[in-house]
Structure 1
């Protein structure tokens, strides 16, 4: 009986160590991804949630990990980094995403997405958030 107990304890400990290692690796990868996206977009994803509510993004879009309104007028912004096109009209690059966020009508005059008045710097924060949060 003691041998079974020892084996069971060992298995549990190994599972916990493995899970902890996986969690630590995931956390490290998220940090690295966030830093890479910050450099790529020139924005800070931590500032974006307030901006997305202030400028009405969340009124029209379902936005990953954003607590607050969750609109259904525009498309969901989940997995945006995996899409080929932004707004169906331009390739998905950080610069194009910032252009789309600041002035979508310049890229697609008939789009329903409004020009909100968000600045380029603020749009970079939003772009960083959308690329980091899946």
Structure 2
């Protein structure tokens, strides 16, 4: 009966998860959704969303953009960055893909020479982390 043990463990884990979600209610479901969104964002971008808030602060992104979850990021100069994964275009000029978003974050004027968004000096690796964060929110 060794094969039955992993199946039973899996069943118990699933039952425990359901009980946890049942007792946690909507907040538990919201937590699970945020975790799934972060995992999807990591897979799409190759970035780590947990590193992004510090980067968004360091590069001053919140001075122009409202960014959910980033303290002080309440700018009104440019578009808010909530639900970016749902948008069709990045910067209004290029299709919304992870690579295009990273390129836009690194050098927006390469994609739109008249863009008001400045080149901040963010590296491509840092931009992947920021992209992951924005796609997870």
- Measured against the shorter chain, the TM-score band is 0.7 to 0.9
Which residue pairs with 2:95 in the alignment? 91
Structure 2: unaligned runs, 5 residues or longer: 1-20
**3-state secondary structure, aligned to 2:70:** coil
1:34-93 per-position Cα deviation (integer Å, ceiling 9, x unaligned): 112112101111110110111111111000121124211111111211111011100111
Q: Check if 1:61 corresponds to 2:73.
A: no
Counterparts of 1:77 and 1:98, CA distance in 2: 14
Counterparts of 2:36 and 2:29, CA distance in 1: 10
Q: How much is the aligned-residue C-alpha RMSD, in angstroms?
A: 1.6
Q: Check if 1:36 corresponds to 2:30.
A: no
Q: How many matched pairs?
A: 117
Counterparts of 2:37 and 2:119, CA distance in 1: 29
Length-normalised TM-score, structure 1: 0.80
Counterparts of 1:44 and 1:18, CA distance in 2: 30
Counterparts of 2:61 and 2:73, CA distance in 1: 9
Length-normalised TM-score, structure 2: 0.78
Which residue pairs with 1:6 in the alignment? none
